[in-house]
Amino acid sequence: MRVGVIGGGQMGAGIAEVCARSGVDVTVVEASDERAERSRASIEKSLDRGVRSGKLSEDEKSAALDHLAVTATFEDLEGADAAIEAIVEDEQLKRDVFRRLDELLPDAKFLASNTSSVPIMKLGAETKHPGRVLGMHFFNPVPVLPLVELVTSIMTEPETVSEVRTFAENVLGKQCIDSQDRAGFVVNALLIPYLLSAIRMYESGFASKEDIDQGMVLGCAHPMGPLRLSDLIGLDTLLAVAESLHDEFRDPASVSPALLNRMVEAGLLGRKTGRGFYDYSK
């Protein structure tokens, strides 16, 4: 089986790595040669970490790299059996990708999106075959977290869901839960209001960021505090999902705090930019 991954950033690189480690031929498409090189380097670095930690042998790393191709040419996806879109949370850009995928891969078993906020029906509507379009929402870091949310629109065919579930569980070794095509799906509909509440608490001066995070780690047995988790997710992604939730449900709990808006405007997006609520530059 050969899978195309569109977007080689944090999520796309993780999805590609998991596919390659599972023996699936994967082609990652990026927007430029420079970004393609950066994506491949990111995957190689992650595989090296796996070797150092003893979770991966050198032979397994080499085998994974043999299954990996990274390109800046969209047409290199031609002939792929399936595709997973993992670009930035921009609805129009994602619509454009699905329109191109539908034309390039008329026989693909499924076209999936890793979106955490864009309705799957809107993406399916850009294609001639919306029945093979669904959401396949992975979680960061993809090689570590076992969950995949399967999100179906009113047009997604049962055969597509069955095909993707088998691929995710039997090939990639993930665990799936099902969600309706509603903003936030299952996990983010619960998680995002919690993270926004933590940001408001910090913004108001009620408590320090360290104490907020420490409180949830030590008091609620969370593996990571909400502000560090926001940095890991990416503050731009957090904002996009919050806006999607508010657009659909008009719940005051999903209104993004002013501090979050300003940080995104300033490019302080968390780990991926070296600074968010915490400084990662060192």
186-227 pLDDT, tens digit per residue, is 999 999 999 999 999 999 999 999 999 999 999 999 999 999
Catalytic residue check, 34? no
**pLDDT (0 to 100) of residue 258:** 98
Whole-angstrom distance, CA of residue 269 vs CA of residue 235: 5
**DSSP structure class, residue 25:** E
List the catalytic residue out of 153, 188, 244, 254.
Answer: 188
- Which amino acid is it at 171? V
**pLDDT (0 to 100) of residue 103:** 97
Structure tokens at 192: 């995002």
Structure tokens at 73: 């040419």
Rg (Cα) of the chain, in Å, rounded? 19
Whole-angstrom distance, CA of residue 9 vs CA of residue 102: 22
| Among candidate residues 3, 5, 8, 13, the one with its CA nearest the CA of residue 32 | 8
**pLDDT (0 to 100) of residue 49:** 95
Structural domains of the chain in order of their starting residue, each with its CATH number: 2-180 (3.40.50.720), 188-273 (1.10.1040.10)
- The H-or-E segment that residue 139 falls in is none
List the catalytic residue out of 30, 85, 126, 149.
Answer: 149
Please give the backbone phi and psi of residue 195, each rounded to the nearest 5 degrees, phi first. Answer: -65, -40
**pLDDT (0 to 100) of residue 282:** 81
**DSSP structure class, residue 168:** I
User: What residues contact residue 33 under an 8 Å CB cut-off, 6+ apart?
Assistant: 72
- The H-or-E segment that residue 16 falls in is helix 10-21
Collapsed DSSP state (helix, strand, coil) of residue 14: helix
Would you mind telling me the total number of residues written for the chain in this entry?
282
Collapsed DSSP state (helix, strand, coil) of residue 45: helix
Collapsed DSSP state (helix, strand, coil) of residue 272: helix
Instruction: Please state whether beta strands 175-180 and 147-152 pair in parallel, antiparallel, or not at all (unpaired).
Output: parallel
Q: Which residues of the chain have pLDDT under 70?
A: none
Long-range contacts at 164-169 (CB < 8 A, ≥ 24 apart): 164/110, 164/112, 164/134, 164/136, 167/1, 167/82, 167/110, 168/136
List the catalytic residue out of 39, 85, 137, 256.
Answer: 137
Catalytic residue check, 254? no
Start-to-end C-alpha separation, the chain? 40
Whole-angstrom distance, CA of residue 188 vs CA of residue 186: 6
**DSSP structure class, residue 119:** -
**pLDDT (0 to 100) of residue 39:** 97
Q: In angstroms, what CA-CA distances link 30 with 77, 113, 227?
A: 11, 15, 30
Catalytic residue check, 60? no
List the catalytic residue out of 39, 113, 114, 116.
Answer: 116
Catalytic residue check, 188? yes
User: What residues contact residue 263 under an 8 Å CB cut-off, 6+ apart?
Assistant: 235, 269, 276, 277
**pLDDT (0 to 100) of residue 117:** 82
pTM of the entire structure? 0.90
- The H-or-E segment that residue 133 falls in is strand 133-138
